[in-house]
Structure 1
Amino acid sequence: MKIAIGADHGGYSLKQVVVPYLESLGHEVEDVGCECDQSVDYPDYALPVCDLVASGKAERGILICGTGIGMSIAANKVRGIRCALVHDLFSAQATRDHNDTNVLAMGERVIGPGVAQEIIRIWLETPFSRGERHVGRLNKVKQIEENDSARS
C-alpha cells in the first residue's frame, strides 16, 4: 500500500519512527515533510498528504502534530478525506470498520511510539465493514461535501 505521511514540528520525532515502521511492514511511503523540529505550520503538511490521498496517488495518509487536532481539522477540509484523530486501539479499529477513514491523525505529545505503531497496524489492517448502515451514513457525509461545494 502507498501511504503519504506528513508532520509538523510537534510530530517530527514520531514521524521519524513511523516511516521506517511502515516500510518494515512492506508499505511504500511518501514523506511530504517536515524535516526538522523547528516551528512550521501544520496545514502546509496536511494539505499535500490529503491531496495525494484524494487524488488516488496514495491509498492512505498519516498526519502527526503535537496533539493531532490541528492536522485532523485541516485534513477534513479536503473533499474526499475522512480523517480520524486516534489515540487508542479501539478507535483505530472502529474508524476503519465504521467510517472507512483514509487519513489517520495522531499526536506525538499524547501517545508514545509503541502505541502509535500499534494504532497504525490496526488501522491499516482493518477493512471497512461495508455494512448498509455505515455506507448510508458515509453517503450522507458525501452529500454534505457536495452541498457545501455548491454553496461556495
Structure 2
Amino acid sequence: MLIAIGSDHTGVYYKSLIISFLTKIGCKIKDFGFSEHGKAVDYPDFIHPTAEFVNEGKADFGIIICGTGNGAAMIANKYKKIRAALVWNKEVAFLARKHNDANIISLPARFLDKNEILEITETFLITNFEGGRHKIRISKIPIQNYPQ
C-alpha cells in the first residue's frame, strides 16, 4: 500500500511518527511534508502536491496534517477525486472510510496526541468502504452529479 503524506510545520512531529508506524507495517510512503522544526510555512504548499498525487491515483490513500486540519481538508477537497475527511478520533476515521469512502484523512495536529494520531491512522487504513446505500450518496458529491 502506498500512502502519500503532507504536512505544514505543525505536523512535522506527527508526520515522522506516522511514517515510522506505516513503514513498520509494510506501507510505502511518498512524503510531501515539511520536515524542519522551528520554521513556519504555508500549508497549501505541501497539501496540494499530496492531494494531487492521490487524485491522480498514484497513492492508495493520503494523510494530511495542519494545525486544525480544516485548511488542509479544504485544499484537498478541491480535487475532483478526493474525499478528504477531517478526523479527530478513531470513530470518525472508521465512519469516514466505511460510509464516506474517504481517501484522505486530515489530522488536526494541535488537538491530538501521538497515541490518538496512530489509532486514527490505523483505523482509517484497515476499514473498508461499505458500499450499498453509501455508494449512491458518494456519487452525489460532485456538483455535476447532483440533480438540479
1:16 is matched with which residue? 16
- Stretches of structure 2 that go unaligned for 5 or more consecutive residues are none
Q: List per-residue Cα deviations over 1:23-67 (Å, max 9, x = no partner).
A: 111100010121213111111111111111111111100001111
Q: Distance in 1 between matches of 2:43 and 2:140?
A: 28
1:60 is matched with which residue? 61
Q: How does 1:112-131 map to 2 (within 5 A)?
A: 112-131=113-132
- Stretches of structure 1 that go unaligned for 5 or more consecutive residues are 148-152
Per the TM alignment, residue 85 of structure 1 is displaced from its structure 2 partner at its CA by: 0.6
Per the TM alignment, residue 122 of structure 1 is displaced from its structure 2 partner at its CA by: 0.5
Corresponding position: 1:90 with 2:83? no
1:111 is matched with which residue? 112
Q: List per-residue Cα deviations over 1:74-97 (Å, max 9, x = no partner).
A: 111111100001011110100000
Q: List per-residue Cα deviations over 1:116-143 (Å, max 9, x = no partner).
A: 1010101000000011x1111111113x
Identity %: 40
2:78 is matched with which residue? 77
Q: Distance in 1 between matches of 2:40 and 2:137?
A: 38
Aligned length: 145
Q: Distance in 2 between matches of 1:79 and 1:36?
A: 31
TM-score, normalized by length of structure 2?
0.94
Aligned 8 A contact 1:12 1:65 in 2: no
Moved over 4 A (4+): none
